[in-house]
Structure 1
Amino acid sequence: MSLINVINLTFGYESSYDNIFENVSFQIDTDWKLGFTGRNGRGKTTFLNLLLGKYEYSGTISAKVNFEYFPFEVTKAANNTMDIIDNIYPDYIHWQVMRELSLLQVSADVLYRPFATLSHGEQTKVLLAALFLKENSFLLIDEPTNHLDMNARKVVSDYLNSKQGFILVSHDRAFLDNCVDHILSINKTNIEVQKGNFSSWWENKKMQDNFELAENEKLRQDITRLSAAAKRTADWSDKVEKTKLGTKNSGLKPDKGYIGHKAAKMMKRSKAIEARQQSAIDGKSKLLKNIESSERLRIFQLNFHADRLIELENVSIFYGEKTACENVSFIIEQGARVTLYGKNGSGKSSLIKLICEENITYTGTFRKASQLKISYVSQDTSQLSGNLTGYAADNDIDESLFKTILRKLDFSRVQFEKDMADFSGGQKKKVLIAKSLSEKAHLYIWDEPLNFIDVISRMQIEELLLAYSPTILFVEHDAEFCKNIATKILEL
């Protein structure tokens, strides 16, 4: 066991308007299985890069371990997998690699195949196995689930649960709950470390938020009441002051000693009210700083004149001589929330392309209702570049509505001026979702929409789909999201 100490860490990119971290201090144990959470763009990957020594910063980061980053960059993917492992860890022992691959349910024959021929899931598992072979290393595991189907996520999560000594960035709640024992969270104004898994951290956060909201309301009422009391005291003081002069033509002389005593008591009371008022204001200013904005989203679903929107009967899809999927039959009816489930490579994306009328070779019967309007969210965000204003114009969507949705998904106004190419993976995905929510459609088709997207935004999207019940076909490997949203499961 050793400690990683972060003291007064301050960092900001040269091109940034403000610092990402400001005098941040905390301590973590290298034996922990640490889940790392926070909204998109808060600096999770940046912090991992600071641990790796990639940027200059002020403050101190001290550790007695080496840091290793996942995913490891593979530059020669045409080489056999065994050569890739040798490049990561030249001193590995063969039986240890075999043991790790067995735990990850990967066949030993992958070692003798070119790395490029492995599926995304196999590549993820191989790189994890290689990195965990290293001794005296603390692993920085950055979003390993994005290319894993639901079964593979369970296998990797169980594998990580058997290990220790890592920071895991993931937005999959079930995945985190199964394999971490501490949570490191980047909040709006600080970073905190808490024992437990994601669910226990989330419950504690909700309790803290509710306490602060109640305390804030109590102090707001106190400030209003004390302000009224201060005004009354000031009015009384004015009246007392006037009595010093006596009543005009009354011939009576005022008792200035009594009036002075009364004025002094009022002054003392006024000062006490002011002190209590300032104390309430100071207390109020310390609250609500880390409460996340999670405003309700809207969707503009169009009603269709028919119940059946999509129908497939014994559909098989081909790419040359390769079969993507075979004899698939299903119906999508209006109001259904349908998840398309299957292992990677089972043909999910191919079916989506067929429904979106891309140039696909298929046999069988495919029917799509005439004049059906579809809003599509792709897996791929690599095409995003330029500013948001131009993107809205190019896609013929209302710019004001589009940006309002992004604001609700935790975009700052500063982001609106940046090139989308510089956005984080999660921010790019939010752009595609905001575009889809800005479109009026009969059917929404989302292909792995939650990749890289933070947990709070996932919950917002869940609330949206449950509140408006749009007709949607989606592919998603987040087990919690699918359980909460799907009314129908199509398994390939």
Structure 2
Amino acid sequence: MSVIQVTNLTFAYEGSYDNIFDDVSFQIDTDWRLGFTGRNGRGKTTFLNLLLGKYEYSGSISATVQFEYFPFQVENKENNTIDVIGDMHPDYVHWELMRELSLLRVSEDVLYRPFASLSNGEQTKVMLAALFLKENSFLLIDEPTNHLDMHARKIVSDYLKTKNGFILVSHDRSFLDNCVDHILSINKTNIEIQQGNFSDWWENKQRQDSYELAENDKLKKDISRLSEAAKRTSHWSHEVEKTKNGTRNSGSKVDKGYVGHKAAKMMKRSKSIEQRQHSAIEEKSKLLKNIESAENLKITQLTYHKSRLAELDHVSIYYGDKTACRDVSFTIDQGERIALAGQNGSGKSSVLKLMCGEALNYTGTFRIGSQLKISYVSQDTSHLHGNLTDYARISGIDESLFKSILRKLDFARVQFEKDISSFSGGQKKKVLIAKSLCEQVHLHIWDEPLNFIDVISRMQIEELLLDYSPTILFVEHDKEFCENVATKTVEL
């Protein structure tokens, strides 16, 4: 066991006035299975790159272990997998590799196939197996779940549960809960480490948020009450002071010493109240800094004139002589939120493309409502560029609603002026989701919308969909999201 010590770390990208990290200090035990969480753009991947020594920074990072980054950059994917493993870890022992692959349920034959021919899941498993074989290494695992189906996620999560010594960036709650024992979270104003899994951390955060909101409310009332009391006391002391130069109603002379003493006493009381008020304001200023909140949104979906929007009856889809899926049957009725499930390669994306009107070869019966308006969110974000104002105008959506949704999903106002092409992967996906929610349609179709999106935003999207109750057909491998959102699941 050893320690990774981070001391007074400060970092900003060249040309930027905003620090990603500002004088942060903490330490990590190299035996921990550490889940790394935080909103998109807060600096998770940046921190991993700082550990790898890719950027200059002020402060210090000290460690007695070597850092290994996942995913490994494979230079030539046409090489056989066994040669790619040799590039990752030249000194690996073959029987140890076979043991790791067996734990990950990867067959030996993948070693003698081109790496490019492996599925995303197989590539992920092979990389993890090779990297964990390295001695005295601490793995920096950056979003391994993207494009993995639920089955593969469970296998990889169970595998990581048997290991020690890694930081895992993942936005899948079930995945994190199963395999980590500490959480490192980048909050709005600080970085903190807690023992436990993601659900433990989230429960503690909600408890802390509730306490701070209650304290904030109490202090607001105290400040208001003290302000009124200070005004009244100050007013009374001035009135008493004025009587020093007058006479009593009875005509007798005023005792100026008594009146002055009384006025001074009242002024002292006023100062005491003012001091308590300043203390309450100072205490209040320490609260709510890490609460992730945003305004509620009003979104409406078009109502279709029939309850049934679409129907597939024993549909099989083909690409040339290859079958994408076979005998798919389900209906979409207004108000349903349907999760399309199945392992990678089972034809989920093909079904979505057929629904969106793409000309595919198919057999069976496919009916879709005439003049049905559909909003589609694809997996691909490479086409996004320009600023958000222009994007909203070109897309024909309400700019203020579009930006309100993005604000709810933790976009800072400064992002509104930047080019979308400079956004992180998660921020780009949020742009596509926000656009889709602004479109006046009868049906939303989303293909793996949550890839790269941070876990708190996922929960906010869940909340939005449950409040908004749109008709939606989606493919998503986040188990908890599907269980919380879907009213029906169709397994391919």
TM range (shorter): over 0.9
- For the structure 1 residues 29 and 249, does the alpha-carbon distance in structure 2 shift closer, same or farther, using more than 3 Å as the test? closer
Q: State the distance in 2 between where 1:415 and 1:249 align.
A: 69
In structure 1, the residue matched to 2:157 is: 157
Which whole-Å deviations, capped at 9, do the CAs of 1:93-152 have from their partners, x for residues lacking one?
A: 111111111101111100000000000111111111111011111100011001110010
In structure 2, the residue matched to 1:49 is: 49
Matched to 2:309, the amino acid is: L
User: Counterparts of 1:452-491 in structure 2 under 5 Å?
Assistant: 452-491=452-491
Aligned residues: 492
**What is the CA-CA distance between 1:3 and the residue it aligns to?**
0.7
In structure 2, the residue matched to 1:356 is: 356
In structure 2, the residue matched to 1:112 is: 112
In structure 2, the residue matched to 1:70 is: 70
Q: State the distance in 2 between where 1:315 and 1:82 align.
A: 40
Contact 1:34–1:181 (CA under 8 A) maintained in structure 2: yes
Q: State the distance in 2 between where 1:462 and 1:42 align.
A: 21
Contact 1:341–1:348 (CA under 8 A) maintained in structure 2: yes
**What is the CA-CA distance between 1:385 and the residue it aligns to?**
1.4
**What is the CA-CA distance between 1:313 and the residue it aligns to?**
1.9
Which whole-Å deviations, capped at 9, do the CAs of 1:426-456 have from their partners, x for residues lacking one?
A: 1000000000000011111011111111111
In structure 2, the residue matched to 1:303 is: 303
Matched to 1:455, the amino acid is: V
Q: State the distance in 1 between where 2:297 and 2:242 align.
A: 59
In structure 2, the residue matched to 1:386 is: 386
Matched to 1:60, the amino acid is: S
In structure 1, the residue matched to 2:190 is: 190
Tell me whether 1:24 sits opposite 2:34 in the alignment: no
User: Counterparts of 1:33-432 in structure 2 under 5 Å?
Assistant: 33-247=33-247, 252-432=252-432
**What is the CA-CA distance between 1:247 and the residue it aligns to?**
3.4
Q: State the distance in 2 between where 1:53 and 1:377 align.
A: 36
Q: State the distance in 2 between where 1:122 and 1:484 align.
A: 28
SS class of match (1:353): helix
Contact 1:297–1:461 (CA under 8 A) maintained in structure 2: no
User: TM-score with structure 2 length normalisation?
Assistant: 0.98
Deviates more, 1:389-398 or 1:225-234: 389-398
Q: State the distance in 1 between where 2:408 and 2:205 align.
A: 20
Q: State the distance in 1 between where 2:296 and 2:450 align.
A: 17
**What is the CA-CA distance between 1:294 and the residue it aligns to?**
4.2
**What is the CA-CA distance between 1:249 and the residue it aligns to?**
11
Contact 1:246–1:252 (CA under 8 A) maintained in structure 2: no
Q: State the distance in 1 between where 2:249 and 2:125 align.
A: 100
- For the structure 1 residues 340 and 241, does the alpha-carbon distance in structure 2 shift closer, same or farther, using more than 3 Å as the test? same
Which whole-Å deviations, capped at 9, do the CAs of 1:392-430 have from their partners, x for residues lacking one?
A: 122111112111111111101110111111111110000
**What is the CA-CA distance between 1:312 and the residue it aligns to?**
1.4
SS class of match (2:145): helix
- For the structure 1 residues 77 and 267, does the alpha-carbon distance in structure 2 shift closer, same or farther, using more than 3 Å as the test? same
Contact 1:294–1:456 (CA under 8 A) maintained in structure 2: no
Q: State the distance in 2 between where 1:104 and 1:295 align.
A: 43
Q: State the distance in 2 between where 1:252 and 1:385 align.
A: 86
Matched to 1:146, the amino acid is: N
Contact 1:4–1:27 (CA under 8 A) maintained in structure 2: yes
Matched to 2:341, the amino acid is: Y
**What is the CA-CA distance between 1:250 and the residue it aligns to?**
7.9
Which whole-Å deviations, capped at 9, do the CAs of 1:444-483 have from their partners, x for residues lacking one?
A: 1011111111111111111122223211100000000111
Which whole-Å deviations, capped at 9, do the CAs of 1:62-118 have from their partners, x for residues lacking one?
A: 111111111111110000000110000000011111111110111110000000000
Q: State the distance in 1 between where 2:212 and 2:249 align.
A: 59
Q: State the distance in 2 between where 1:297 and 1:378 align.
A: 24
Q: Which runs of 5+ in 2 are unaligned?
A: none
Q: State the distance in 1 between where 2:257 and 2:17 align.
A: 61
Q: State the distance in 1 between where 2:186 and 2:484 align.
A: 26
Q: State the distance in 1 between where 2:390 and 2:235 align.
A: 58
In structure 2, the residue matched to 1:7 is: 7
SS class of match (2:146): helix
Which whole-Å deviations, capped at 9, do the CAs of 1:356-393 have from their partners, x for residues lacking one?
A: 11132222221111000001111111111111112112
Matched to 1:481, the amino acid is: F
Contact 1:300–1:439 (CA under 8 A) maintained in structure 2: no
Q: State the distance in 1 between where 2:333 and 2:250 align.
A: 92
Contact 1:314–1:327 (CA under 8 A) maintained in structure 2: yes
Contact 1:389–1:399 (CA under 8 A) maintained in structure 2: yes
Matched to 2:421, the amino acid is: A
Q: State the distance in 2 between where 1:340 and 1:458 align.
A: 18
Q: CA RMSD in A?
A: 1.3
Matched to 1:467, the amino acid is: D
Q: State the distance in 2 between where 1:34 and 1:40 align.
A: 18
- For the structure 1 residues 86 and 437, does the alpha-carbon distance in structure 2 shift closer, same or farther, using more than 3 Å as the test? same
Contact 1:33–1:179 (CA under 8 A) maintained in structure 2: yes
Q: State the distance in 2 between where 1:292 and 1:174 align.
A: 21
SS class of match (1:147): coil
Contact 1:385–1:419 (CA under 8 A) maintained in structure 2: yes
SS class of match (1:145): coil
Matched to 1:164, the amino acid is: N
Q: State the distance in 1 between where 2:249 and 2:417 align.
A: 73
Contact 1:184–1:191 (CA under 8 A) maintained in structure 2: yes
Q: State the distance in 1 between where 2:367 and 2:50 align.
A: 53
SS class of match (1:244): helix
Q: State the distance in 1 between where 2:164 and 2:299 align.
A: 43
Matched to 1:370, the amino acid is: S
**What is the CA-CA distance between 1:251 and the residue it aligns to?**
6.1
Deviates more, 1:2-11 or 1:266-275: 266-275
**What is the CA-CA distance between 1:248 and the residue it aligns to?**
9.5
Matched to 1:54, the amino acid is: K
User: TM-score with structure 1 length normalisation?
Assistant: 0.98
Q: State the distance in 1 between where 2:331 and 2:207 align.
A: 43
Contact 2:337–2:472 (CA under 8 A) maintained in structure 1: yes
SS class of match (1:193): strand
